[in-house]
Amino acid sequence: MLIPNPLAQRGAYDAALQQVMNIAQARESRRRLSHWSLLNPGATPVWQLPQLARRLSVGQISVKDESTRSPLGSFKVLGAPIALLRLIQRRWPGKTFTPQDLLAGRHAQDLQGFVVISATDGNHGRALAAAAQSMGCRCVIVLHAHVSVEREAPIAAFGAEIVRVTGNYDDSVQEAARLAAANGWQVVSDTSYAGYEEIPRDVMQGYAAIVDELLEPEADAAPCPYTHVILQGGVGGLAAGIVSYFWERYGARRPSFIVVEPEQADCLCQSARLGRPAMASGSVDSVMAGLACGETSPLAWRFLQPAVDFFVTVSDEQAVEAMRALASGEAGDVPVLSGESGAAGLAALKVLAGSPELRRQTGLGADSHVLLISTEGATAPAAYAQLTGHTAPSVLAAQAGWLASTEVSAKISEQAPMDRMARKAKVGTLTPNQGASTA
């Protein structure tokens, strides 16, 4: 299902929105987190899929691979940790807590009585638990009935206390808020609600660091290298962080934004239909666990409503097929380790590119350069293997083999013209006698 957004704008970035999220803060978030030992140094890779692009009749497909961002395996490591870092600095304004010292645990004594809590489908809670452990504060994570034991274990491994509730993600959000109010704890959530926007803003601002890294080599005056950016939905936080950066940087020259959701967790599609933050129309439960959200974040919607051009839904089956396509290196491209939510962008692209009418509506064509963000790797390894038929190590081994063979091929290709030039130069210096046959 494709929902065009009639309220999407093409113009300068809204000044009021810029006061909330902006490029300067995205860069500052990136700088602060660079001190954390759980973040891998350097940029995450951007994979090119030229063979798949040809199959789908688009010019280029680029995949930003967030599975390598951290041992935690997802982009969420950019959100909860920076929000917690800024929260602590606001909470103790008289202290000279530097990001480097906080992330190294040098103020754990000061923070031992500080408790943070959040609901999660897995990745956000894992990132918050890891950050809390590094900084030395206590962490409580609320999990709903559909979060697997496999996703619970890594959260508990970072020392978080687990609270289980019946129901879905939205029920766990309500329980986290109740426990926080009852115990004087601090909610660190990626979704906003009335009176609670500062921390979700910081979470979303952290996600914008992905684009800051991605566009770093580009000159400020250069045109946007992408015509289309397909982003995962959920409550809207990732999409809002990414959209805000592109919009501020390129203004009217921004790319077309498409947001994808599970069919049964379509709160953003329903928001686009109604023109306001809305609830999902389905059961919410989805194999795309990170996107199984039933209610739009009002703060995120302030950025999405004026900027996202289209909202689209995909089925669980389509997401799994996209996972398999990435894992196998469909059509001869590099294999990519992408989890259930991570592959949703490719699932959406296949739906759109496969329909002449949807291609026309979204402007996809032979010159389109599509950016996808693979937001997670195999964060639930057993589920990943069951869904794709591949283990995470086997995909990474295939990726390494593909890269090695490509490097060898590139060296051969580089050498071939040199060999031809050398032979030509040698022939050019021969005299008739030297070149004559002795037979």
Active site residues: 76, 121
For residues 370 and 95, give the distance between their C-alpha atoms in angstroms, rounded to a whole number.
45
Among residues 194, 175, 327, 351, which one has the least CA distance to residue 262?
A: 351
The β-bridge relationship of strands 310-314 and 2-4 is antiparallel
User: Which residues contact residue 385 at a Cβ distance below 8 angstroms, ignoring those fewer than 6 apart?
Assistant: 378, 391, 392
CA angle 19, 273, 240 (to 5 degrees): 30
Instruction: For the chain, state the CA radius of gyration.
Output: 24
Q: Residue 279's Cα: distance from chain center in Å?
A: 23
Across the chain, which distance is largest between two alpha carbons, in Å? 101
User: Which residues contact residue 22 at a Cβ distance below 8 angstroms, ignoring those fewer than 6 apart?
Assistant: 244, 248
DSSP 163-225: EE-SS-HHHHHHHHHHHHHHHT-EE--SS-BTTB-HHHHHHHHHHTHHHHHHTTTS-TTSPPS
CA atoms within 13 A on the CB side of 124: 36
Residue where the block lists tokens 């995962």:
232
Contacts for 245-248: CB closer than 8 Å, 24+ residues apart: 245/23, 245/26, 245/208, 245/211, 245/212, 246/211, 247/13, 247/307, 248/13, 248/18, 248/22, 248/23
